[in-house]
Amino acid sequence: MSTLTATGLRTGVLPRWGLAGAAAGAVAVTVALFALTPFQGTVDFIVVAAVLMVAAVSVTSWAVEGRRRAKDRLATSAALCFLALTLTPLVFVIGYTVKEGIKRFNGNFLTHSMAGVGPISSGGGVYHAIIGTLEQVLVASAIAVPLGLLVSIYVTEYAGGMLATSIRFLIDVMTGIPSIVAGLFVLAFWVLALGQGFSGFAGGLALAILELPIVVRSAEEMIKLVPASLREASYALGVAKWKTIVRIVLPTAASGITTGIMLAIARVIGETAPVLLVVGNNDFIHTNPFNGPQSSLPLFVFEGAGSSSAFDVQRAWAAALTLVLIVVVLYVAARVLTRRNALNGR
Amino acid sequence: MSSVATGTDASSLRSASSKRRGDATFKGVTLAAGALVFVVLGAIAVFLVVKAVPALQADKSSFWTTQIWDPDGTAHFGIAALAFGTLLTSFLALAMAVPVALGVSLYVTQYAPRRLATLLGYATDMLAAVPSVVYGLWGVFFLLPHMIGTQVFLARYLGWIPLFADKNNQVSSYSKSVFGASVVLAIMILPIIAAISREIFRQVDPAQREAALALGATRWEMIRTAVLPPSWPGVTSAVMLGLGRALGETIAVALVIGNVYKIDWHTLIPGGHTIAANIANRFGEAGATGRSALIASGLVLFVITLAVNLVARYVIYRAGAEERSAL
């Protein structure tokens, strides 16, 4: 196909085997380099080989096809390398978490708390942390979801002009608030100024601040997708605007909004910083979120990661695996939901 | 008919007025929710200021120029080293993440077949979905031990740059350093920058791209002439949003940074600290003044990230693009 382009007609074209040859040559040079010089290590080998390959392909292409084609090849191979660079950490983060986490991850770990388990004992589990996390996220969602829906309804259905733009703008700015600042705010406001003390509810408040803008943004996009003809049909039948929104617009957008909420929950469930500041910490099962310190999964991981006990670190990995699994399940469920709706819509 | 009409008229009038009342109430409720956004943002600023003041009054040295952090003991503390570390780690992370993120999003939008592109999109989104505490744990136990070779390499061949100089032969052993924190940060902000710039590259008019190709441009020339120029405002704001995320990232950095309160350009040696990480690491032991001091530092962080985000969003809004992507 490339032979038909103008450049291809005037200049030489590098055949497939030419590219493969250049790449193979680069690998051969790398092997020689690692055999003859102090270079060593698998990662180093891959990096050096990749750099040499890009160079070899570009230089060969320059010699045969000219400068423009060579640049194009260079850009293509650079983009591929960057892609590999992006996917590598993903594989290593997930892979290593599974490898380390699976050692302690079992039914016993999920159903027991840390009550009476010291840092030098290998037992214990995350039951209390799972309860804490679920309750805190529930509190956060109970606040952020209805509020977020109302804001998105106001922005899409009612407000026009400056007010809508400024609310949208602030919501966007709110997505950029660091989670630790949300935690500090709840600490300053709820724990210190109002003297409420550490509790799961305070953690829920902090998480709600982080969840709200995500819910608003996704719900807004979904409500915008509802066809105007549906609204107009409803108005034509004499239905009030608020009833149209509640009975026609929201149900139509419901599946998309649900997806957005699930993704928002997946985002905040792993937040550690706000929880660290306002939830306190607790080794025991504490089911009341409104009073007294609780634990949470991310907090459990953080405490374990900073501990000098190997058992704590093992537990931290297993808890991290639990957390990643929860996030992945939420994420995949949201995607499946989106896909199914896309198929239904066809 | 007229006798019937009076009846229906009355009821329809009533229903019309109740309809209007229902509408007004509903609109009021949603407006209140919208207004709450203003209130929350305002309250964050107000309460942080109120709770920061006691510490600022108790501070015996200058808050802006002091490098040490000892609010509960000698009451000498300041944000200089923390702010320096925050900026240094964030900009190093940007330097690493931006080229890669742009390369990936160009690959996904311009090179990859559609199915592969969707798959790669999921993969990068997954990278964004991993909780930051998991990155921290991974950084401490996997990345830092495996990075010693890279650090030695950098110190040996790029040591003439002060950033990578090996001071006192400390590079060849395991250490929590500014550089390690920057790498973790880079991995964390990469998917954010990639996701936004992906959306932005996608917005480019296909006719422009096809025109470039039809004129005989190679694919790279097409990207340079048709894709990149209209995308610059969007890419700029994507980078700034990544910067905002890097500045405020707490837990991952708290686990992999050296906890040293000193302004030092040497990124490979043990050391470094950031505002956010300091809050996470010192909160547990903090007394009343300590907490207030941490809130004061959080206020500074809030103002910095707010400014960065405001500029980023302003650039997007002025570009007139409706591309407020999902992140």
Q: What is the pLDDT of residue B194?
A: 92
Same domain, B48 and B103: no
Check CB contact under 8 Å for A151 and B19: no
| Secondary structure of residue B69 in the 3-state scheme | strand
What mean pLDDT is predicted for residues B154-175? 80
Which pLDDT value is given to residue A316? 92
Q: Clarify whether residues B51 and B186 are in a common domain.
A: no
B54 shares its domain with B76: no
* Closest CA relative to residue A245, chosen from A158, A345, A146: A158
| Whole-Å CA distances, B198 to B123, B190, B230 | 13, 12, 13
Q: Provide the CB-side half-sphere exposure for B135 (13 A, CA).
A: 29
* B296: CATH: 1.10.3720.10
Kindly determine whether residue B26 and residue A320, on different chains, have CB atoms separated by under 8 Å.
no
Any domain includes B299: yes
Measured between CB atoms, does B310 come within 8 Å of chain A? yes
Average pLDDT over residues B128-143: 92
B153–chain A nearest CA distance, Å: 10
How many percent of chain A have pLDDT more than 90? 32
| DSSP 8-state class, residue A1 | -
CA distance A21 to chain B (A): 23
Answer yes or no: is B64 within a domain.
no
| B100 interfaces chain A, CB cutoff of 8 Å | yes
The answer to whether the beta carbons of residues B63 and B275 sit under 8 Å apart is no
- pLDDT at residue number B15: 64
Distance CA B302, CA B244 (A): 10
* Residue B82 and residue B47 share a domain: no
Domain that holds residue B88: 69-318
**pLDDT on residue A61:** 82
Residue A152 and residue A224: Cα distance in Å, rounded?
A: 10
Query: pLDDT tens digit string along B83-103?
Result: 999 999 999 999 999 999 999
User: Are B229 and B185 in the same domain?
Assistant: yes
Residue B20 scores a pLDDT above 90? no
Does B223 sit within 8 Å of A158, measured CB to CB? no
Cβ contacts of residue A211 below 8 Å, gap of 6+? A140, A141, A144, A145, A148, A264, A265, A267, A268
Question: Do B177 and B117 fall into the same domain?
Answer: yes
Q: Are residues B270 and B156 in the same domain?
A: yes
Q: What is the pTM of this model?
A: 0.88
Model confidence band, residue A343 (pLDDT cutoffs 50, 70, 90): low
Contact A173 B313 (CB under 8 A): yes
For residues A328 and B119, what is the distance between their CA atoms, to the nearest angstrom? 15
What's residue B74's pLDDT? 87
Express each pLDDT in A274-322 by its tens digit: 999 998 888 788 888 888 888 899 999 998 888 888 888 999 999 999 9
Would you place residue B214 in the very low, low, confident or very high pLDDT band (cuts 50, 70, 90)? very high
Instruction: Kindly state whether residue B32 falls inside one of the protein's structural domains.
Output: yes
Instruction: With CB atoms and an 8 Å threshold, state whether A154 touches B30.
Output: yes
The predicted model gives B139-143 an average pLDDT of 92
Note whether B19 contacts A: Cβ–Cβ < 8 A. yes
Q: Do A151 and B36 touch (CB under 8 A)?
A: yes
Whether the per-residue pLDDT at B13 is higher than 70: the answer is no
Rounded Cα–Cα distance for residues A210 and A264 (Å): 9
Is B97's Cβ below 8 Å from some Cβ in A? Answer: no
Give the pLDDT confidence score for residue B14 in this predicted structure. 58
Confidence (pLDDT) at B3: 43
Q: What average pLDDT does range B309-326 have in this prediction?
A: 68
A272 pLDDT exceeds 80? yes
Please enumerate in sequence order all residues whose Cβ is within 8 A of that of B276, keeping only pairs 6 or more positions apart, or say none. Answer: A178, A180, A273, B86, B247, B248, B249, B250, B253, B254, B301
Q: How many whole angstroms separate alpha carbon A244 and alpha carbon B324?
A: 27
- Residue B118, chain A, CB below 8 Å: the answer is no
B positions 129-148 inside 8 Å of A (CB): 129-138, 140-142, 146
Distances (CA, A) of B199 to A341, A346, B212, B221: 22, 24, 21, 20
Is residue B268 domain-resident? yes
Domains of chain B: total: 2
Report whether pLDDT(A231) > 80: yes
pLDDT the model gives residue B302? 93
Q: Quick check: B250 and A150 CB within 8 A?
A: no
Residues of chain B contacting A267 with CB distance shorter than 8 Å: 129
Containing H/E element for B77? strand B76-77
Q: Is residue B327 part of a domain?
A: no
pLDDT at A4: 46
Candidate from A90, A240, A301 with C-beta closest to B137: A301
> Which two three-digit tokens encode residue B218?
């190679």
One domain, residues B222 and B291: yes
ipTM for the predicted complex: 0.87
Q: Which residues contact residue A184 at a Cβ distance below 8 angstroms, ignoring those fewer than 6 apart?
A: A277, B48, B279, B294, B295, B298, B302
Give the nearest partner residue to B134 out of A153, A273, A324, using CB atoms.
A324
Domain check: are B29 and B119 in the same one? no
B251: closest chain A residue by CA: A273
Q: A25-29, A211-215, B274-278 — which is least confidently predicted?
A: A25-29
Would you call A194 exposed, middle or buried from its count of C-beta atoms within 10 A (0-12, 13-18, 19+)? exposed
**Mean pLDDT value of segment A172-194:** 89
pLDDT band at residue A31 using 50, 70 and 90 as cut-offs = confident
First-residue to last-residue Cα distance in chain B: 60
The phi, psi pair for B318, rounded to 5°, reads -70, -35
Nearest chain A Cα distance for residue B2, angstroms: 22
Which chain B positions have a beta carbon within 8 Å of A168's beta carbon? Answer: 324
List pLDDT tens digits, range A71-122: 888 888 888 888 888 888 889 999 999 999 998 888 888 888 887 777 777 7
Residue by residue, DSSP assigns A232-248 as HHHHHTT--HHHHIIII
Looking at the domain assignment, is residue B216 inside a domain? yes
Structure tokens at B117: 């592109």
Among the residue ranges A294-308, A322-336, B9-23, B234-248, the one predicted with the least confidence is B9-23
Q: Which of residues 229-248 of B touch A (CB under 8 A)?
A: 241, 244-245, 247-248
For residue B5, what pLDDT is reported?
Answer: 44
Residues B124 and B175 in one domain: yes
In whole angstroms, how far apart are CA B64 and each of B60, B83, B244, B300? 12, 9, 21, 10
Cα–Cα distance for residue pair A246/B192, rounded to 1 Å: 34
Q: Are residues B92 and B32 in the same domain?
A: no
Number of neighbouring beta carbons within 10 Å of residue B87: 16
Q: Is residue B326 part of a domain?
A: no
Looking at the partner chain, which of B44, B47, B142 has a beta carbon nearest the beta carbon of A92? B142
- Average pLDDT, whole number, for chain B? 86
* Domains in chain A with CATH codes: 2-101 (no CATH), 127-345 (1.10.3720.10)
Residues of chain A in contact with residue B41, where contact means CB-CB under 8 angstroms, are 170, 173-174
Instruction: Enumerate the residues of chain B whose CB falls inside 8 A of the CB of residue A184.
Output: 48, 279, 294-295, 298, 302
What's the pLDDT score for residue B327?
39
Q: pLDDT over 70 for what percent of chain A?
A: 94
What value does the mean pLDDT take over residues A5-34? 74
In a domain, B63, yes or no: no
Mark whether B127 and B222 lie in a shared domain: yes
